[in-house]
Amino acid sequence: MTERFDVVVVGAGPAGSAAALVSARGGLSVCLLERGPFPGSKNMYGGVTYARILDDLIPRWWEEAPVQRWITRRSTMVATPTQAVTVDVRADAWSAPPFNGASTYRSEFDAWLAQKAVEAGATLVTSTTAVGLRRDERGAVVGVRTDRPDGDVTAQVVIACDGVNSFLAKEAGLYANFSSEHFTLGAKEVLTLGRDEIDRRFGLVDRQGVDIEMIGVTQGIPGGGFLYTNLDTVAVGVVVDVDALGRAKVRPEELIAGVKAHPAIAPSLRGAELHEYSAHLIPEGGFDSMPRLVTDGMLVAGDAGGFCLAAGLFLEGVNFAIGSGRAAAETAIAAIGRHDTTASGLSDYRRKMNDTFVMADHKKMRRAPALVLSERMQTQYADLICDVAQGLFTVSNPAPKPGLRAIFRQERKRRGIRLRNLTRDGITTLRTFG
């Protein structure tokens, strides 16, 4: 028996649950499909949830969302195997409503957001995988096939939120330039340490939390590391280029072990016990690698659309997922109201996305993936920054202080870093992050 809905949303992650929530509030009948036994059971991420996108969707969401800690300290660390230079930002304003970012467990946060969609009227169906698209005689998407016997679902619009490497988007022919070079692998360990010990070691009180992003800790493999605090656990991991990881023949857990052993990190993790390990592909190609987002009867949102910003200074995804899911739902509501769910009728989705922070941030950061993952940034510049900082603060009496410019010139020449490359990369950095 085929179930019929106005909209079927595939994937109950942040994008899918936001799409289901907005669609249901818009008066549509909604089926929210989730392949896991509950929303969030299959999801892994290695960063912080930036949930201000929820301000008007769920007013005062911070009073009920399952948050571990509010991130009040944000650090960016550039490292070599024996050195580290860290820019450490602390802000009291980040520890008060409406907050800035939070550490969360996706199994809790995703389940909470999906429940909001259910309360709005969406039908949540778990332990069910969408295995293919249903099409009409014109070839338009009119639903999905599932792995349940007689479990097909028809809908006027399918919103594919089935994650990175989206099976449905690929079947629909929306990935014109699909390539492994557009993906990184995120792997993390969750370590049990205890709340009081975390507070003491990281200088935290109450629900304060810390997020540390690192460059130069992945053994020369393009990528970076991260560490963030939960209430009584610490998550530590890496995000690395998939192809380079394969060529290096190094396992992700070996890289994580290296991060944990780094002299700038090890003292904070001493005695911590492994609670869980997970790994996940991340769409890191940025704006230029995004698939087409619309076809007849179907929209793509979240990681399936490549909406993840892994740009060195920033590692964001949940906020973009929610923003794109919301825009997809608003597009579906309008298209169904006009009785036009063709690609033309759904084309307003791209305009909506262009008017939001989601596409604006990805356009601004479109050069970031190539810049951050470049060999110069990962090794030469990391070494240069650390050695210049070490030289600047080394007291060499009775010799006079050499001065910053002299140290910089000496270290740049010692590494053979060409001034034109440094200038070009500096300009790109200013254009990207300025």
Whether 1 has a pLDDT exceeding 50, the answer reads: no
In angstroms, the CA 424 to CA 291 distance is 29
Q: What's the token pair of residue 203?
A: 């200088």
Q: At what angle do helices 318-337 and 14-25 cross, to 10 degrees?
A: 30
Residue 353 makes CB contacts below 8 A (sequence gap 6+) with: 293, 324, 327, 359
pTM: 0.93
According to CATH, the topology of domain 3-66+105-178+291-366 is FAD/NAD(P)-binding domain (3.50.50)
Whether 312 has a pLDDT exceeding 80, the answer reads: no
In angstroms, the CA 373 to CA 215 distance is 10
Range in 166-180, 198-212, 386-400 with the lowest mean pLDDT: 166-180
Percent of the chain scored above 90 by pLDDT? 74
Whether 176 has a pLDDT exceeding 80, the answer reads: no
Whether 366 has a pLDDT exceeding 90, the answer reads: no
Q: Which CATH number fits domain 181-283: 1.10.940.10, 3.30.559.10, 3.30.9.90, 1.10.10.10?
A: 3.30.9.90
What is the average per-residue pLDDT within 43-60? 87
Cis amide prior to 283 (ω within 30 degrees): no
Residue pLDDT, tens place only, 69-122: 999 999 999 999 999 999 999 999 999 999 999 999 999 999 999 999 999 999
Cis amide prior to 98 (ω within 30 degrees): yes
Q: What's the token pair of residue 275?
A: 């609670």
Q: What's the token pair of residue 398?
A: 């009775």
Percent of the chain scored above 70 by pLDDT? 97
**Nearest Cα to 172, choosing from 10, 378, 368, 412?**
10
Dihedral, 291, 240, 416, 371 alpha carbons, nearest 10: 30
Residue pLDDT, tens place only, 372-388: 878 888 889 999 999 99
Domain boundaries, the chain: 3-66+105-178+291-366, 181-283, 374-433
Q: Please calculate the CA angle 66-35-274 and round it to the nearest 5 degrees.
A: 55
